[in-house]
């Protein structure tokens, strides 16, 4: 095993290439994992195509997610054969990541693949679904409940958004899904559980600091003017989470929703989530997500196609989740 070579996507500043690697490439961490699946998240798309902001060192094996089996471990919790998954925790950013046949990781950050899901569906959830679950947990910690009122999901056609729609609907929330592609995605979003599908344009900040109070909660994956518009439409004492910047890193809004309507904005960082919260998010995903719905928004590509699959995320034409079959 120690002499075995394996394929992996190696990212550099100019982009990533698929290379044959040896175990000596990997970081010296406590747990070796045979990777079965990875996935394509927005950050992976950036790293694979040489866009800045993700790689903290290079060359680096790309891939912020992995799902596979433990080969050997010095960590007390893990033994050979355990089915595990890992999201973030530095993978594909400052540690070698999951878009390769073999990985060395910190056992503290691993989560056992829930038996109800199995490895392929755990990979389909990936960082995107994990982040959707972290957002739900954060909203609920701050008092949101199904009876509080509807919840707006932005970027609903993407990875975070599509899992969020299914998860929130399964948790009995009334979900309003906002997308830039309503004609293309309305029926898919309705099938996932959205009660209403809005054109993103109707959420965008109109320049007015406050709008009609339309939703009790917001799960935002987009940022920019969409986030500003979503906050302007929050009900009094409403709560929003923000995790992404697919629509811009700036916040072109005002403080008025905060100081006149008492709304709260919560930040979500999946990468440095502590172990107990990782477990809680995965338990919620396993309890709530309908496997058939998850399958309906999942496509699987071979390792060699990872970079091509990533291009569609950057073009804004990807939908749902893309699993990379590494084995």
Distance of CA 134 to the CA centre of its chain: 10
Q: To 10 degrees, the CA torsion angle through 205, 207, 213, 217?
A: 30
CA-CA distance, 137 to 150, in Å (whole number)?
Answer: 16
CA-CA distance, 34 to 72, in Å (whole number)?
Answer: 10
Q: How far is the CB of 151 from ligand NDP (least distance, A)?
A: 16
Cβ neighbors of 267 (< 8 A, separation 6 or more) are 241, 242, 243
With CB under 6 A as the contact rule, which of the stretches 75-83, 109-117, 264-272, 282-290 interacts with ligand NDP?
A: 264-272
Of residues 61 through 90, those in contact with ligand NDP by CB under 6 A are: none
Q: Is 244 in the site for ligand NDP (CB under 6 A)?
A: yes
Listed residue (320, 282, 295, 243) closest to 133, CA to CA: 282
Cβ neighbors of 202 (< 8 A, separation 6 or more) are 178
How many C-beta neighbours within 10 Å does residue 195 have? 15
> Binder to ligand NDP among 91, 167, 313, 326 (CB under 6 A)?
313
> Binder to ligand NDP among 270, 289, 297, 309 (CB under 6 A)?
270
Q: Is 41 in the site for ligand NDP (CB under 6 A)?
A: yes
Q: Is 316 in the site for ligand NDP (CB under 6 A)?
A: yes
Q: Is 299 in the site for ligand NDP (CB under 6 A)?
A: no
Q: How far is the CB of 305 from ligand NDP (least distance, A)?
A: 16
Q: How far is the CB of 84 from ligand NDP (least distance, A)?
A: 19
Q: Is 181 in the site for ligand NDP (CB under 6 A)?
A: yes
Q: How far is the CB of 223 from ligand NDP (least distance, A)?
A: 7
How many C-beta neighbours within 10 Å does residue 252 have? 14
* Footprint of ligand NDP (CB under 6 A): 41-43, 127-128, 131, 155-161, 179-181, 200, 221-222, 226, 243-247, 268-271, 313, 316, 318
């Amino acid at each position: 095993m120690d002499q075995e070579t394996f394929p992996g996507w190696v990212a550099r500043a100019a982009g990533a290439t698929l290379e044959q690697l040896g175990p000596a490439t990997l970081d010296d961490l406590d747990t070796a994992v045979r990777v079965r699946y990875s996935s394509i998240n927005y950050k992976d798309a950036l790293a694979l195509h040489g866009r800045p902001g993700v790689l903290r060192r290079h060359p680096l094996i790309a891939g912020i997610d992995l799902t596979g089996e433990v080969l050997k471990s010095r960590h007390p919790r893990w033994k050979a054969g355990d089915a595990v998954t890992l999201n973030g925790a530095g993978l594909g950013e400052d540690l070698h990541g999951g878009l390769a046949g073999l990985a060395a990781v910190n056992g503290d950050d691993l989560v056992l693949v829930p038996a109800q899901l199995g490895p392929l569906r755990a990979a389909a959830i990936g960082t995107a679904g994990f982040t959707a679950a972290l957002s739900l947990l954060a909203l609920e910690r701050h008092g949101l409940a199904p009876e509080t009122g509807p919840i707006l999901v932005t970027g609903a056609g993407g990875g975070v958004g599509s899992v969020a729609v299914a998860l929130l609907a399964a948790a009995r929330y009334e979900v309003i899904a906002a997308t830039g592609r309503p004609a293309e995605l309305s029926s898919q979003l309705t099938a996932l559980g959205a009660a209403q599908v809005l054109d993103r344009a109707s959420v965008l900040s109109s320049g007015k600091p406050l709008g009609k109070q339309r939703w009790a909660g917001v799960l935002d994956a987009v940022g920019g003017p969409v986030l500003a518009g979503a906050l302007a439409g929050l009900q009094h004492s409403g709560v929003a989470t923000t995790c992404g910047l697919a629509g811009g890193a700036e916040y072109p809004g005002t403080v008025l929703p905060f100081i006149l309507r008492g709304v709260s904005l919560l930040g979500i960082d999946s990468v440095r989530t502590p172990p107990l919260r990782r477990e809680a998010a995965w338990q919620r995903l396993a309890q709530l997500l309908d496997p058939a719905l998850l399958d309906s928004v999942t496509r699987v590509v071979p390792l060699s196609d990872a970079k091509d699959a990533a291009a569609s995320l950057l073009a804004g034409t990807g939908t749902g989740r893309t699993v990379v079959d590494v084995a």
